[in-house]
Amino acid sequence: MKHLLILSLFATAAYTPSFAQSKPAANPAAAADGYEIKVTLKPLKNEYIYLGHYYGKQLPIVDSVKLNAQGEGVFKGSKKLGGGIYLVGFPDRSRNFEILVDKNQRFSVVADTAQMENIQFTGSPENVAFLDYQKAMGRSGRAIDALMRQRSGSAPADSVRLSGEIQKLQKDVQQYRTDIMTKDPNGILATLLKAMREPEVPQNHPDAARDSLFGYKYYKAHYWDGVNFWDERLVRTPFFEPRLDKYFAQLVYPVADSVKKELDWMLGYASINEEMQKFLLLKFANRYLNQQYMWEDAVFVHLFEKYFSNKTYPWLTDQGKKVITDRAYSLMANLTGNPASDIELPGLDGKQKSLYGIKSPYTLVTIWDPTCGHCKEVVPRIDSLHAAKWKAQGVALFGMAKESEGTRETWTSFIKEHKLNDWTHVYYSRASEKARVDAGTPSYSQLYDVQSFPTLYLLDKDKRIIAKKLTEQQVDEILEHRRKGGK
């Protein structure tokens, strides 16, 4: 997509997301002791290793060091690292191992590339606990898998016994995690476990019998239990962004008002922490820049109006701000459900024709280019569907031809050749567009957010936008749905 290509130009460093620029150094007092992580990685020597971290779906590198002849190197900096899950990358950058970084940022780790299960940490209780947790989960997982394999071919009596053993192991795993979260509830490992925890819908709850949606409502209400949206450590994990994606894709009702409400409460808490606010604003701005569903235009405009129009951020580039602003202004003029902008241009006879001059239950606006190969296929199909079905349903056709490579004669010849007689045709010349722009008036291309040809808008009797950026098949489906009483 056009906008995604533009966004890729905004990264000012390899680890900076779209729209963002590098953050200025923090004040010296806040980072007086910095970080110092000594790594011994055998049998490597005289090679560079890298320190990076998760950032949503990205893996930014924040430091590098050359190992000495003994395979030793020290990642060191005067500014503290943000907490989260970091990765020590091998020289080939295709392999790595994870470490936790939190308040204590002076520790050492010894590892052997041939025996990565025997990593040793000194001076980092968080990483010792993390390592113990990984080993415990590995043992439990292997034991459960083995019991499941036994159960698959066992006699009924043995199957019951094995199921009981599996359930006991699963309860032990849950208790192990609960103990960690209880012992140090604000520690990084507890924070990670809470953020990964799936809600357990209670069985035989009295409300379940009265409400068929009880399970969904309970799961959604408890999905973020224990998760603090001001805790920036979550940003530097591989699972926080996928959990966000799952929440909006599966649990949030797909209408603009519902999505805006969810964004606002998340960003309200995130405003306490600059890094989390940055992560979420970039996440949502990129997600809704190019809409997957028509109603998402209102979400992007909401983001702009509330979080970008009158605010500045140290991490937002000027070019990023411009793209967000330009896109928002393009969408404001054609939000689904709002009245479409009037179009007034010369028709086939040279006289001015107005979109709002058409009186009909529905109006299909088709913005096309007479030299566009796809338009040459679609426009005649629209005409055929109109003659066969749509006209009887009260649909009027309004075609705005935008001049590009062709001429007015190209336009009129195409109309005559294909007998497109039951339309209101208007011609939007390059000169007309330039005159509007020079006068400080938005072009029709901007007002209708034309990014490809043909662009189709379906309007109601009051010229409100029912749907936009449609195919002719989708127009037909919407009209059929409405014919049967749908909205």
Each domain of the chain, given as residue ranges in start order, spans 10-123, 128-196, 206-332, 344-483
The model carries a pTM of: 0.84
Q: Are 230 and 272 in contact (CB under 8 A)?
A: yes
DSSP β-bridge partners for residue 12: none
Q: What is the pLDDT along the chain (487 residues), one digit of tens a residue?
A: 333 333 333 333 333 445 665 444 444 444 458 999 999 999 999 999 999 999 988 999 999 999 999 999 999 999 999 999 999 999 988 899 999 999 999 999 999 999 988 999 999 999 999 999 999 999 999 999 999 999 988 888 889 999 999 999 999 999 999 999 999 999 999 999 999 999 999 988 888 888 889 999 999 999 999 999 999 999 999 999 999 999 999 999 999 999 999 999 999 999 999 999 999 999 999 999 988 999 999 999 999 999 999 999 999 999 999 999 999 999 999 999 999 999 999 999 999 999 999 999 999 999 999 999 999 999 999 999 999 999 999 999 999 999 988 889 999 999 999 999 999 999 999 999 999 999 999 999 999 999 999 999 999 999 999 999 999 999 999 999 998 887 7
Q: Could you give the C-alpha distances from 247 to 204, 239, 302, 479, in angstroms and in order?
A: 25, 12, 20, 32
Q: What would the CATH number be for the domain defined by 344-483?
A: 3.40.30.10
For 415, phi then psi, to 5°, come to -60, -45
Q: Which residues contact 371 (CB under 8 A, 6 or more apart)?
A: 404, 405, 406, 410
Neighbours of 113 (CB within 10 A): 13
CA 183 to CA 15: how far, in whole Å?
Answer: 35
CA 173 to CA 168: how far, in whole Å?
Answer: 9
CA 124 from centre of chain: 35
CATH 1.10.10.10 fits domain 10-123: no
